[in-house]
């Protein structure tokens, strides 16, 4: 009996690994309905994941010479990276005449366009650079319309965090950080709860007009980040704790109904509710930055893309010297902002999958491939070898003229003892969004 049980278990184990349905003596009968054999684009991705860049580039030249790869992305800088990639292929084979057409859709229509392309009779897009982890998970990964690809040279690079940045593959983490106009010496933004005090109205893009902003609020309820909020709450003076405690108590009963976990989730809900009821909604981060740096914005604050500071035009009424990055202050407590990601993926119907894989690998492993994004503060590749050092971008002729522009880098910003960025996780955001999205909308209207 014991021996028979052992044989049965062994057969079941073999069946699960080999994709067969049953054991009969020493042989298994394949079940075509349960085959795990990859086909089409998925099979090419599996092969590509075992190939070096040099091997991939040769496959790309063979596949797309004389053809046009159509890419679609949330960042216009994909076109700059495409130019560098074509040049890299031509350096290998001067006769190569392939091209890349880069498309940047507006108004968050990228999901609609990609899904329509995948389900149409003919297929146009070979790869995508896409943001908003929540929708990527629910509309693209769960449906199988976009496939993940992890390049070998990226996976093998020193310092790469495959776990955090490989599912799906991240081109970069972009930071939106709390900052304030420092011309009001009485303004105190030393604690993340300072941004939701009664008289505070930070400038911020609407949470339903830019989905990554709403993902930030979802992620605050994750136990690690909720813990950051609780630790910051504990550092507040007694009178401020008493003020915020009313809201904490008010939302405590919503935790279980929203499917949230952890004893600190109520602090996250309290911060979220206070934030959405009083932030100063703006249409875009560029105009927010341009307003924040002016002399007339004394004491105001914002949560915006860090790199916007790069484009400040210095004048008698506007200067980057008027801005302080909240988390760079000694003794600042709580998250210093949030990090969302640009992901690189391949549609399951990609017309040029080898070239798509090669282009993606170029962007995440080659300096020239990431340079279009890496030239600015606030954007970080998961590959340390191709990140640029921006720690002294605020220095002019050896003088630290614009301290806010001295980027402390990804490792500092994501550390629990540094900037404590709230990082987007597609799986978690998708898990809680179904219930939390409506709760946030109701809170904002109350």
Answer left, alpha or beta for residue 397, where phi above 0 means left and psi between -120 and 50 means alpha. left
Q: What is the reported pLDDT for 108?
A: 82
Report the sign of the C-alpha dihedral through residues 266, 269, 273, 274, in that order: positive
How many CA atoms does the CB half-sphere of 430 hold within 13 Å? Answer: 14
Domain boundaries, the chain: 2-34, 42-171+341-386, 175-338+393-445
- pLDDT grade for 3, boundaries at 50, 70 and 90: very low
- pLDDT grade for 23, boundaries at 50, 70 and 90: very low
For range 190-204, the mean pLDDT: 96
pLDDT 10s digits, 113-164: 999 999 999 999 999 999 999 999 999 999 999 999 999 999 999 999 999 9
Report the sign of the C-alpha dihedral through residues 190, 196, 200, 205, in that order: positive
Can you tell me the distance from the alpha carbon of 127 to that of 61, in angstroms, rounded to the nearest whole number? Answer: 16
Does residue 194 have a pLDDT over 90?
Answer: yes
SS3 call for 179: strand
Can you tell me the distance from the alpha carbon of 354 to that of 46, in angstroms, rounded to the nearest whole number? Answer: 11
Identify which of 69, 83, 146, 70 has the alpha carbon closest to the alpha carbon of residue 111. 146
For range 326-348, the mean pLDDT: 98
As assigned by CATH, the class of the 42-171+341-386 domain is alpha beta
Does residue 374 have a pLDDT over 60?
Answer: yes
Average pLDDT, the chain: 92
């Amino acid at each position: 009996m014991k021996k028979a049980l052992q044989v049965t278990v062994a057969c079941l184990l073999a069946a699960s690994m080999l994709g067969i349905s049953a054991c009969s003596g020493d042989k298994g009968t394949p079940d075509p309905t349960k085959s795990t054999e990859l086909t089409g684009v998925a099979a090419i991705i599996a092969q590509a994941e075992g190939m070096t860049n040099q091997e991939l580039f040769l496959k790309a030249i063979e596949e797309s010479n004389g053809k046009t790869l159509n890419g679609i992305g949330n960042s216009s800088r994909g076109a700059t990276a495409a130019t560098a990639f074509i040049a890299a292929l031509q350096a290998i084979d001067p006769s190569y005449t392939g091209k890349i057409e880069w498309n940047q859709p507006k108004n968050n229509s990228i999901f609609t366009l990609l899904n329509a392309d995948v389900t149409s009779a003919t297929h146009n897009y070979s790869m995508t650079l896409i943001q908003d982890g929540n929708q990527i998970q629910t509309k693209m990964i769960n449906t199988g319309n976009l496939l993940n690809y992890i390049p070998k040279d990226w996976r093998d690079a020193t310092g790469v965090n495959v776990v955090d940045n490989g599912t799906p593959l991240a081109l970069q983490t972009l930071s939106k950080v709390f900052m304030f106009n420092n011309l009001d010496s009485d303004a105190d933004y030393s604690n993340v709860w300072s941004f939701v005090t009664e008289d505070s109205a930070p400038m911020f893009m609407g949470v339903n007009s830019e989905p990554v902003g709403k993902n930030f609020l979802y992620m605050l309820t994750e136990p690690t980040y909720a813990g950051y909020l609780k630790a910051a709450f504990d550092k507040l003076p007694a009178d401020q704790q008493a003020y915020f405690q009313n809201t904490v108590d008010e939302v405590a009963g919503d935790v279980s109904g929203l499917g949230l976990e952890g004893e600190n989730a109520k602090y996250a809900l309290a911060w979220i509710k206070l934030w959405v009821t009083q932030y100063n909604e703006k249409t875009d981060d560029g105009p927010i930055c341009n307003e924040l740096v002016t002399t007339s914005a004394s004491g105001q604050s914002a949560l915006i893309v860090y790199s916007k500071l790069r484009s400040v035009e210095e004048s008698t009424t506007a200067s980057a010297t008027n801005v302080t990055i909240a988390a760079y202050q000694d003794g600042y407590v709580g998250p210093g902002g949030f990090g969302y990601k640009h992901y690189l993926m391949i549609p399951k119907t990609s017309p040029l999958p080898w070239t798509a894989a090669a282009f993606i690998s170029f962007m995440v492993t080659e300096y020239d491939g990431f340079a279009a994004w890496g030239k600015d503060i606030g954007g970080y590749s998961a590959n340390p070898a191709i990140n640029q050092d921006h720690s002294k971008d605020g220095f002019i002729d050896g003088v630290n003229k614009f301290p806010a522009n001295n980027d402390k880098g990804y490792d500092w910003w994501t550390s629990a003892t540094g900037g404590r960025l709230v990082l987007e996780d597609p799986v978690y955001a998708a898990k809680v969004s179904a219930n939390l999205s409506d709760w946030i909308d109701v809170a904002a209207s109350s």
